[in-house]
Amino acid sequence: MIEFGHLTHVGLRRELNEDTYYGDSELGLWLVADGMGGHLYGEVASALARETIVREVREGTPLAQAIRIADEEIIRASKRRNEALPMGTTVVAARVSGNRFEVAWVGDSRVYLWREGQLAQLSQDHSYVQELIAQGAITNEQARSHPHRNVVTQALGVTDPVQLNVETMTGELRPGMQLLLCSDGLTEEVDDRGIARILSHGECSAQECVDGLVAAALDGGGSDNVTVILVRRH
């Protein structure tokens, strides 16, 4: 059995929530998209990503391909608007079928796996600071306060479909394991230790854990929209 909790919050410093999310146990699909582009366009891009991916997955399209189609749709919508600024969105998505999961992502929205009391980050941010970390130029700790930490190197609607790097990973989702999907509004304010601390409360429901994570992000400053989904296998 799958239980999931979900919540999005505008944060404490933004007027608009450009994040969106989707969760459906029957379809076995969950996703978080963090829109960017200002002038309401981030909101449009993230909603378009959600609608396209859900539609495609319902029709049997593999997850990575559904994300590629969303990239093309957002680029097309952008061109119709004739705006100088492209609209873009990150996306992180998970599919669960039986005891297997597949995750896919573009940008810096993340997916973590919780198993046996340990938190592991499955996704790797498509971001400028992640590239610096990979080169050994800065540490993970320095990345948290780097002035360009919010610069993503890949995003739907911005990255040309030919260049788009939809990364995927598959694994086993056994009873007691949990998948956490979130926008960077969570990880900007709460480090992995803080996330693990909240998930380690075994007695809380998936929704209570999600509520606790969003509350921690707001306590940390709430500098961005924050969206969290927690998918738990029983």
pLDDT in tens, 173-222: 999 999 999 999 999 999 999 999 999 987 899 999 999 999 999 999 99
Q: What is the pLDDT of residue 39?
A: 58
Domain of 220 in residue numbering reads as 2-233
Domain of residue 187, CATH code: 3.60.40.10
Higher-confidence residue of 150 and 62: namely 62
Mean pLDDT of the chain: 95
Q: How confident is the model at residue 230 (pLDDT cuts 50, 70, 90)?
A: very high
**Domain total in the chain:** 1
The pLDDT value recorded for residue 81 is 81
Between the alpha carbon of residue 22 and those of residues 42, 54, 58, 106, 145, the distances in Å are 16, 8, 13, 16, 30
List the one residue out of 7, 27, 199 whose CA is nearest residue 117: 199
- Give the pLDDT confidence of 119-135 residue by residue, as tens digits: 999 999 999 999 999 99
Query: Do residues 195 and 180 lie in contact, with contact meaning Cβ atoms separated by under 8 Å?
Result: yes
- Residue 38's pLDDT is 64
Residues 6+ apart with CB under 8 A from 99: 172, 173, 174, 233
Check residue 178 and give its pLDDT: 98
- pLDDT category at 49 given cuts 50, 70, 90 is very high
Using a 10 angstrom Cβ sphere, with 0-12 exposed, 13-18 middle and 19 or more buried, the burial of residue 12 is middle
Q: Looking at the chain, which runs of residues are DSSP E strands?
A: 2-9, 19-24, 29-36, 88-97, 100-106, 110-115, 118-121, 167-172, 178-182, 226-233
pLDDT of residue 93: 99
Average pLDDT over residues 55-72: 98
